[in-house]
Amino acid sequence: MPPVLAFREVSRSYRTAGGVLPVLRGVSAELPAGRAVSVSGRSGSGKSTLLHLAAGIDAPDAGEVVLLGRALGRLPDRERTRARRDHVGLVFQFFHLLPHLTAEENVLVPALVAGDPPGPAAARARALLERVGLGDRGGDPVQKLSGGEMQRVALCRALLRKPTLLLADEPTGNLDEASGQKVMELLLGVAREEGSALLYVTHSRELAALADETWILHAGLLERAP
Ligand SMILES: Nc1ncnc2c1ncn2[C@@H]1O[C@H](COP(=O)(O)OP(=O)(O)OP(=O)(O)O)[C@@H](O)[C@H]1O
């Protein structure tokens, strides 16, 4: 089976006022199906850049990002968007929920966008909310929920269409330690049950250690922690 995600000699630099800033300098790594990998590294080391490349939101200057055997850079825009929609779930630090919609409606957004049949999608949304302990909050507008609860809703939304790859950029960065720990345990547990590979960025050593493997970005290169 090909890896869910592969970085092959990926480089990315940015043009800044001070000149060209090389962020990734020939990074190669593979994420096998169902595996959980955390990404660490100091501020500015390129963690978010790596995740954006994985999601096809950003493109490398050189090298290839391969999702399920297909090099994203070689796909036409529409195909790349479809690959992301069908195979990738995204969780962000600031949740990006629609505040006036209910928890269940937020979870259902990806199904609406994709035109999935509403009945099965709604049943799955309810089952996921139940799984993360929010079975009785599905009808509440998300703006009434706590930060930890909002992130659990965002997790359900990311998982709704059974993504092969779940990407999470500092998913606990906006939460206190206790809710952060709970969200991370749920993220890892549900991803494992669903068989989704998981790549998550975290600044916390404890939370990074919960993964099967840790990738550390340093000086534009990727090192694997034992
Ligand atoms: N669009 C951009 N234009 C110019 N520079 C950028 C751009 N995006 C990122 N950078 C720079 O690239 C470097 C890596 O950014 P990135 O956000 O990937 O780091 P990070 O490891 O996620 O950082 P943090 O832990 O602080 O969130 C930083 O120095 C950042 O300022």
Render pLDDT for 176-214 as a digit per residue (tens, 0 to 9): 888 889 899 999 999 999 999 999 999 999 999 999 999
Position 67 confidence tier, pLDDT thresholds 50, 70, 90: very high
Residue closest via CA to ligand 1's atom 1 equals 14
- Residue 66: inside a domain, yes or no? no
Owning domain of residue 114: 33-58+76-210
Q: How far apart are CA 165 and CA 67, in angstroms?
A: 9
Residue closest via CA to ligand 1's atom 10 equals 14
Position 93 confidence tier, pLDDT thresholds 50, 70, 90: confident
- Residue 70: inside a domain, yes or no? no
Residue percentage of the chain with pLDDT more than 90: 90
**Tens-place pLDDT, residues 102-141:** 999 999 999 999 999 999 999 999 999 999 999 999 999 9
ipTM of this complex = 0.97
- Residue 67: inside a domain, yes or no? no
Structure tokens at 195: 């068989």
pLDDT value, residue 202: 94
Judge if the beta carbon of residue 45 lies within 6 A of ligand 1: yes
- Residue 108: inside a domain, yes or no? yes
Any idea what the CATH number is for the domain that residue 193 is in? 3.40.50.300
**Tens-place pLDDT, residues 170-183:** 999 888 888 889 89
Question: Ligand 1 centre and the CA of 43: distance in Å?
Answer: 8
Question: Ligand 1 centre and the CA of 170: distance in Å?
Answer: 14
pLDDT over 70 (residue 226) = no
> pTM for the complete prediction?
0.94
The dihedral formed by the CA atoms of 147, 86, 82 and 91, expressed in degrees to the nearest 10: 20
- Residue 88: inside a domain, yes or no? yes
Do 103 and 137 touch, CB atoms closer than 8 A? yes
**Tens-place pLDDT, residues 71-84:** 999 999 999 999 99
Judge if the beta carbon of residue 40 lies within 6 A of ligand 1: no
Domain count along the chain:
1
Position 34, amino acid: G
